[in-house]
Structure 1
Amino acid sequence: MSDKWVLGIIGGSGLYALEGLEDVRKERVHTPWGEPSGPLVKARLHGVDLVFLPRHDEGHRIPPSHINYRANIDALKRAGVTDILSLSACGSLREALPPGTFVIVDQFVDRTFAREKSFFGLGCVAHVSMADPVCSRLAAMAAHAARAVKPKKVHEGGTYLAMEGPQFSTKAESHLYRDWGMDVIGMTNMPEAKLAREAELPYASVAMITDFDCWKVDEPHVDVTNVLEVLHDNAAKACALVSEVAKTMSKTPRSPSPEGIERVLDHAIITPKEHRDPEMVSKLDAIAGRVL
């Protein structure tokens, strides 16, 4: 395994470009799963190779349920990305996590239902572990970077409830998720995190809080207008956060992730070689070529 970092950044709502990049070039990457959200932006930042992909495309033209998550992860893998940092707008389900807070997510609950959630399927079946869905090393780097850029608050650890959308929650749903112990709510980190794990790519998520969803009686219910007001400030700090992560990586030789994510497929594929569908196997060239 190379000791060189290639940092993949997936930008969420309000984050359609990064600042301070050098040697910038755009590249269209085609995948067996269709087209990713847009061209990959390849660049360098503080000496670290970086690949940026806005998940909603420039101009925010793709809604959450229509994002081609498989193509996005496949394209980043083909581009040589070693680690993925997701930056996402989200709502807060906790009084202690006000708008402007950056939450370094460490768990997910997936309530989406209209999305393709695996690269594997008929002809080649695999089951990867998602017990610890986030790379602890990358999450620690993100937390360190977040503290350096000084958002309203940095909260390490938290459970992200992924809803289907595109509508925001009802009050009943919002209160239910609070009762379940969820911390933040968003529409895009699933199946993104699951697919990153299948692709053997360490993944971490910074959830940038824009609102209190609709559970808090003394706050306006979430709508696009009040979300956009917070997004602008969050996006500027998100760019600074990426810069800080790159600075840390520039001083740190890359070694295997603490969770061994780069080899998670070693014991995940259950379909014997003689029963695998060749067409499916060919589609998995970038994702699982190492083991297939």
Structure 2
Amino acid sequence: MSCTQPTEIPQVPIALIGGSGTFSLRLPEDLAWPGVEVLEDGLVYATPWGPSPALKLFSLPTTPPRLVLTVKMHGRLPGVSWGEASRRLFWVLRQAGVRKVVAEGGVGSINPLLDPLDIVVPTDYIDFSQRRDVALGEDYLCIMRRPICPSLHETLVRVAGAQPLNRVFSRGTYLVTEGRHFESEAEIKVFRQWGADIVGQTLCPEVYLAREIGACFAGIYLVVNYAEGTVKPWEHKVLKDIFFEGAEPFARLILQALMEIHLDSSCGCRELRKDTLLRPENIGRARRRGDNSQ
């Protein structure tokens, strides 16, 4: 795949952040979905922190057609930290005017009720990663009391539940670790005590950055292994089979969800981003307000 550095970023309402759940596919080409058209590929943009990950622009056969920007494997870049790569990616998404962000990936099951090939659409998270300072700026205070967009969540759950191949769980807590290694059995035991259901490496900082740019966010995740100490030791063959054989049906339901999501902003997610009060012009303002009240 050749990469180009265009100067103008297209205006696109939807972003799909691809992960390990669809990594083995060329998405959307390999699905051969009628009416889906790849418009541009290998799009790399200059950001304040360096080149962005390579993105692909495609259209969905809706009325009118919907444009989607997508990236492979959460936009990871060789020699660049995962958090830094996410920052570059979301800078592009902000410039593109993206309003809805859907992410996918493979996760491990901490909750012993979850098995490989189950689908989880989580409703909350615990951030155990070390990516604490990833942000695009200091303009906003991001409120995370409702991190997942209820409208996006409803669509993902409904579309996933309509297919017969997987059990679908409509709530759960995603525990984010740093990676790249898997977690130890002792760590998983602690995470289970905290109330986590699945473990992975990507929901944060994506959920933070989506809120910072004023976009709705939801993720849909395919269980690919038992976390250490859960049910039984996980098998590499099972992981491999899911990686290659589970990708296409998982990708199809995600593409269907992208066609059905609501593009309005009645969900209220944007209102959970507030202007920061830590601005230079606010220094001394409390004294001035006090003087005016006398």
TM-score (normalised: structure 2): 0.80
Equivalent of residue 233 in structure 2, options 185, 208, 220: 220
C-alpha distance after superposition, 1:208-253 (max 9, x if no partner): 1101111125x22465x5422212233212321222113314xx5x
Task: State the match for 2:40 in structure 1.
Answer: 25
- Letter in structure 1 aligned against 2:50: G
Q: 2:13 aligns with which of 6, 15, 23?
A: 6
Rounded to whole Å, the distance in 2 between the matches of 1:61 and 1:233 is 27
Count of residues in Structure 1 that have an aligned counterpart in Structure 2: 261
CA distance in 2, matches of 1:62, 1:209: 28
| Larger CA deviation: 139-148 vs 195-204 | 139-148
Cα–Cα, structure 1 residues 134 and 33, in superposed 2: closer, same or farther, change >3 Å? farther
Among 241, 244, 257, the residue aligned to 1:229? 241
Would you say the 8 A contact 1:202–1:261 is kept in 2?
A: yes
The match for 1:80 among 79, 94, 97 is: 97
**Could you say what secondary structure the match of 1:105 adopts?**
coil
Which has the greater radius of gyration?
A: 2
1:64·1:166 contact (CA, 8 Å) conserved in 2?
no
Counterpart pick for 1:146 among 134, 139, 160: 160
For residue 58 of structure 2, what is the amino acid of its counterpart? A
* Stretch deviating more after TM superposition (194-203 or 19-28): 19-28
User: 1:255 and 2:264 equivalent?
Assistant: yes
Amino acid at match of 2:55: L
Label 1:102 to 1:64 Cα distance change in 2 as closer, same or farther (>3 A).
farther
Unaligned runs of 5+ in 2: 1-10, 284-294
**Equivalent in the alignment of 2:287:** none
Map of 1:16-55 to 2, 5 A cutoff?
A: 16=23, 17-19=26-28, 20=33, 21-26=36-41, 27-36=43-52, 38-46=53-61, 47-55=65-73
TM-score normalized by the length of structure 1: 0.80
**CA 1:56–1:134: 2 relative to 1, 3 Å:** closer
* Distance (whole Å) between structure 2 residues aligned to residue 103 and residue 62 of structure 1: 31
Which letter does structure 2 place at the counterpart of 1:234?
G
Gaps of 5+ in 1: 277-292
How well do the aligned residues superpose, as a CA RMSD in angstroms?
A: 2.6
Q: 2:88 aligns with which of 53, 71, 74?
A: 71
CA contact (8 A) 1:56 1:63 kept: no
Pair 1:112 & 2:133 matched? no
Q: Which amino acid aligns with 1:79?
A: A
Per-residue CA deviation, residues 99-145 of structure 1 (Å, 9 max, x unaligned), is 1011011101000114533223xxx4642100110100011111112
CA distance in 2, matches of 1:162, 1:57: 17
Contact 2:144 2:272 in 1 (8 A): no
2: distance between equivalents of 1:227 and 1:275? 54
Runs of 4 or more off by more than 3 Å in structure 1? 55-58, 60-67, 273-276
| Counterparts in 2 of 1:57 and 1:71: CA distance versus 1, 3 Å | closer
How far off is 1:55 after superposition? 3.2
Paired residues of 1:105 and 1:160 also in contact (CA < 8 A): yes
Counterparts of 1:94 and 1:264, CA distance in 2: 30
Would you say the 8 A contact 2:119–2:167 is kept in 1? yes
What percent identity do the matched residue pairs reach?
Answer: 24
Secondary structure of 1:127's counterpart equals: strand
